[in-house]
Amino acid sequence: MGSSDTLSSAFAQAFLARSGAERRMTFAQFMELALYHPELGYYRRDTARVGYGSGTDFYTASTSGAVFGEMVTAACVTLLGGEATAATHTLVELGAEPGGGVLAGVKHPFAGTRTVRIGEPMEITGRSIVFSNELFDAQPLRRFVRRSDGWRELGVELRDAGLHEVELAAVTEPWLPADAPEGYVFDAPRAAADMAAAIAAQPWTGLFVAFDYGKVYAELATETPIGTARAYFKHTQSNDLLAQPGEQDLTGHVCWDWLAAALEGGGFAQPKVESQEAFFIHQAGEFLSKTMAAEASRLSQRKLSLLQLLHPSHLGQKFQVLHARR
């Protein structure tokens, strides 16, 4: 269990407005409030979150600069079968940071590009490449703990001017692990799966490419006994999920099985998950070969960026890529 007394009066008021007289809500509702409240939400604040500068909280593949966009472009061209086909598709980036975009400053063969930022309507039509980088892991998680009488959903309660984690009523869901031991915490990324289904339900054809970190269901059900939810603040990971809501990032591993099933339900053929390293080697191999050859004699920023994106001890194995075509 956890608790936090680092609570602003503004967030306390927003919490009470959502929770009502009970002064409690599910963790998923709290995470939605802390990340996406129109004024107080972490992802709705107009501030830099990604990078190495002062005030940032984490870095992603996009921190590597234009080389990431160049590699994404090369991989998408390969997956679409060549530049002629790629030229008939628009790349639609979901959840891009303010002022950014994976193809900013990158030469590409696509028909065009479009960014859909947090809070904007998600409308996708025609021939498209739907791209995201660390979008699904930031969707609200439902948290559960195993007790002798079954699974209980975890919630958040406001009392004594602070936030406290509480156990709510026993619940039954078909996807909760059947044989988990007492005290096992299962973080269920159901909102991420719902988002994938909503994307697949849009009237578009083409390529889906999502960079994120996650696990398959069997791993989430047996290998993460304290759950996967984590907080990030000023590049420091924490298990204090209730601290300074609206000012720190909250995240958790996606379930690749659930996302793939959502895509298949929307008509996508054979969704595939690969490590970021394997994805780029398989789908952008020619680009990598040319770039590494050009940078072989020097330790340039481009070469360092490539190593960061591909090396297993950096981002190469930490992140995975789900891709599929329809």
Note whether residue 239 is domain-resident: no
Between CA 299 and CA 301 the distance in angstroms is 7
Note whether residue 42 is domain-resident: no
Between CA 111 and CA 92 the distance in angstroms is 11
Nearest Cα neighbor of 232 from 221, 223, 243 is: 243
Between CA 218 and CA 289 the distance in angstroms is 36
The residue segments making up the domain with residue 285 are: 58-230+254-325
Structure-model confidence comparison of residues 173 and 57, the more confident one = 173
Do residues 307 and 316 make contact, with C-beta atoms less than 8 angstroms apart? no
* CATH number, position 154: 3.40.50.12710
Between CA 96 and CA 131 the distance in angstroms is 10
Predicted pLDDT at 2: 58
Note whether residue 147 is domain-resident: yes
Confidence of residue 318 (pLDDT cuts 50, 70, 90): confident
Note whether residue 85 is domain-resident: yes
Return mean pLDDT, the chain.
Answer: 90
Confidence of residue 1 (pLDDT cuts 50, 70, 90): very low
β-pair partners for 58: 50
End-to-end CA distance of the chain: 44
Do residues 259 and 196 make contact, with C-beta atoms less than 8 angstroms apart? yes
Kind of pairing, strands 150-159 and 24-26? antiparallel
Note whether residue 10 is domain-resident: no
Do residues 87 and 113 make contact, with C-beta atoms less than 8 angstroms apart? no
Between CA 87 and CA 194 the distance in angstroms is 30
Greatest Cα-to-Cα distance within the chain, rounded to the nearest angstrom = 67
What are the φ/ψ torsions at residue 109 (nearest 5 degrees)?
-95, 5
SS3 call for 321: strand
> Tokens at residue 4, please?
């936090």
Return the minimum-mean-pLDDT range out of 38-42, 58-62, 135-139.
58-62
Confidence of residue 302 (pLDDT cuts 50, 70, 90): confident
Domain count, the chain: 1
0.85 exceeded by pTM: yes
Average the pLDDT over 285-290 and give the result.
88
- 86-95: per-residue pLDDT in tens? 999 999 999 9
Average the pLDDT over 28-55 and give the result.
82
Structure-model confidence comparison of residues 106 and 4, the more confident one = 106
Note whether residue 209 is domain-resident: yes
Return the minimum-mean-pLDDT range out of 31-35, 65-69, 200-204.
65-69
For residue 194, CA distances in Å to 139, 197, 199, 206, 274 come to 10, 5, 9, 20, 21
Between CA 93 and CA 114 the distance in angstroms is 6
